[in-house]
Amino acid sequence: MIFASSFLLLVFARSLLDFTLDFVVLTIGETTSFAGLPAWIAQLTDVDEAGHYQGLLNITISVGRAIGPLYGGYVIEAGNYQLLFISVFLMMFITLLIVIAYLTRIHRLQAHS
Protein backbone atom coordinates (compact mmCIF):
# COMPACT_ATOMS: atom_id res chain seq x y z
CA MET A 1 0.00 0.00 0.00
CA ILE A 2 2.93 2.31 0.70
CA PHE A 3 4.29 1.74 -2.80
CA ALA A 4 0.88 2.35 -4.41
CA SER A 5 0.23 5.48 -2.34
CA SER A 6 3.42 7.08 -3.66
CA PHE A 7 1.78 7.29 -7.09
CA LEU A 8 -1.31 8.92 -5.64
CA LEU A 9 0.87 11.45 -3.79
CA LEU A 10 2.46 12.45 -7.11
CA VAL A 11 -0.87 13.92 -8.19
CA PHE A 12 -0.59 16.52 -5.43
CA ALA A 13 3.19 17.18 -5.62
CA ARG A 14 3.94 20.76 -6.63
CA SER A 15 7.39 21.53 -5.21
CA LEU A 16 10.79 19.88 -5.13
CA LEU A 17 10.26 19.01 -1.47
CA ASP A 18 6.95 17.27 -2.36
CA PHE A 19 8.66 15.21 -5.07
CA THR A 20 11.57 14.37 -2.78
CA LEU A 21 9.28 13.20 0.02
CA ASP A 22 7.22 11.20 -2.47
CA PHE A 23 10.30 9.42 -3.76
CA VAL A 24 11.27 8.58 -0.18
CA VAL A 25 7.81 7.01 0.23
CA LEU A 26 8.25 5.22 -3.11
CA THR A 27 11.65 3.85 -2.08
CA ILE A 28 10.39 2.66 1.30
CA GLY A 29 7.39 0.99 -0.34
CA GLU A 30 9.50 -0.66 -3.01
CA THR A 31 12.12 -2.00 -0.62
CA THR A 32 9.59 -3.34 1.86
CA SER A 33 7.41 -5.02 -0.77
CA PHE A 34 9.59 -6.25 -3.61
CA ALA A 35 12.56 -7.44 -1.56
CA GLY A 36 10.42 -9.90 0.39
CA LEU A 37 8.43 -11.35 -2.50
CA PRO A 38 10.74 -14.32 -3.23
CA ALA A 39 10.74 -15.34 0.44
CA TRP A 40 6.97 -14.90 0.61
CA ILE A 41 6.49 -17.12 -2.44
CA ALA A 42 8.78 -19.75 -0.95
CA GLN A 43 6.74 -19.66 2.25
CA LEU A 44 3.38 -20.01 0.48
CA THR A 45 4.30 -22.79 -1.94
CA ASP A 46 5.59 -26.32 -1.70
CA VAL A 47 9.32 -26.83 -2.18
CA ASP A 48 8.65 -28.54 -5.53
CA GLU A 49 6.65 -25.55 -6.84
CA ALA A 50 8.64 -22.62 -5.40
CA GLY A 51 10.93 -22.27 -8.42
CA HIS A 52 7.99 -22.24 -10.81
CA TYR A 53 6.20 -19.47 -8.94
CA GLN A 54 9.38 -17.46 -8.47
CA GLY A 55 9.88 -17.68 -12.22
CA LEU A 56 6.31 -16.41 -12.72
CA LEU A 57 7.11 -13.51 -10.39
CA ASN A 58 10.15 -12.58 -12.48
CA ILE A 59 8.13 -12.87 -15.70
CA THR A 60 5.39 -10.65 -14.26
CA ILE A 61 7.89 -8.01 -13.15
CA SER A 62 9.60 -8.07 -16.57
CA VAL A 63 6.28 -7.76 -18.43
CA GLY A 64 5.35 -4.83 -16.19
CA ARG A 65 8.64 -3.11 -16.95
CA ALA A 66 8.11 -3.68 -20.67
CA ILE A 67 4.46 -2.58 -20.81
CA GLY A 68 4.68 0.21 -18.22
CA PRO A 69 6.39 2.83 -20.40
CA LEU A 70 4.07 2.03 -23.31
CA TYR A 71 1.01 2.32 -21.07
CA GLY A 72 2.36 5.54 -19.56
CA GLY A 73 2.95 7.04 -22.98
CA TYR A 74 -0.57 6.24 -24.14
CA VAL A 75 -2.20 7.61 -20.99
CA ILE A 76 -0.16 10.81 -21.03
CA GLU A 77 -0.84 11.28 -24.75
CA ALA A 78 -4.59 10.78 -24.26
CA GLY A 79 -4.84 12.56 -20.92
CA ASN A 80 -2.24 13.88 -18.52
CA TYR A 81 0.18 12.85 -15.78
CA GLN A 82 -2.48 13.01 -13.07
CA LEU A 83 -4.59 10.46 -14.95
CA LEU A 84 -1.52 8.22 -15.27
CA PHE A 85 -0.68 8.38 -11.58
CA ILE A 86 -4.28 7.80 -10.49
CA SER A 87 -4.68 4.85 -12.86
CA VAL A 88 -1.44 3.26 -11.67
CA PHE A 89 -2.53 3.72 -8.06
CA LEU A 90 -5.91 2.13 -8.80
CA MET A 91 -4.34 -0.84 -10.60
CA MET A 92 -1.98 -1.45 -7.69
CA PHE A 93 -4.75 -1.01 -5.12
CA ILE A 94 -7.10 -3.40 -6.93
CA THR A 95 -4.29 -5.95 -7.24
CA LEU A 96 -3.60 -5.61 -3.52
CA LEU A 97 -7.28 -6.22 -2.75
CA ILE A 98 -7.25 -9.34 -4.94
CA VAL A 99 -4.15 -10.67 -3.17
CA ILE A 100 -5.67 -9.97 0.26
CA ALA A 101 -8.91 -11.73 -0.74
CA TYR A 102 -6.97 -14.73 -2.04
CA LEU A 103 -4.83 -14.97 1.09
CA THR A 104 -7.92 -14.66 3.29
CA ARG A 105 -9.50 -17.52 1.35
CA ILE A 106 -6.39 -19.67 1.75
CA HIS A 107 -6.27 -18.88 5.47
CA ARG A 108 -9.93 -19.87 5.90
CA LEU A 109 -9.43 -23.11 3.99
CA GLN A 110 -6.41 -23.99 6.12
CA ALA A 111 -8.32 -23.21 9.31
CA HIS A 112 -11.13 -25.60 8.31
CA SER A 113 -8.74 -28.46 7.47
CB 96 within 8 A of CB 3: no
Residue 65 sits in the same domain as residue 90: no
Give the span between the Cα atoms of 19 and 70, in whole angstroms.
Answer: 23
CA triplet 41, 65, 73: central angle to 5 degrees? 145
Residue 43 sits in the same domain as residue 19: no
Residue 85 sits in the same domain as residue 31: yes
Residue 86 sits in the same domain as residue 55: no
**Domain count of the chain?**
2
Contacts of 10 (CB under 8 A, 6+ apart): 19, 22, 81, 85
Residue 94 sits in the same domain as residue 73: no
pLDDT digits (tens, 9 = 90+) for 6-25: 999 999 999 999 999 999 99
Q: How far apart are the first and last CA of the chain?
A: 31
pLDDT digits (tens, 9 = 90+) for 23-80: 999 999 989 888 888 888 888 888 888 889 999 999 998 999 999 999 999 999 999 9
Give residue 110's domain range: 1-35+81-113
Its sign, for the CA torsion 62, 67, 68, 69, is positive
Residue 42 sits in the same domain as residue 27: no
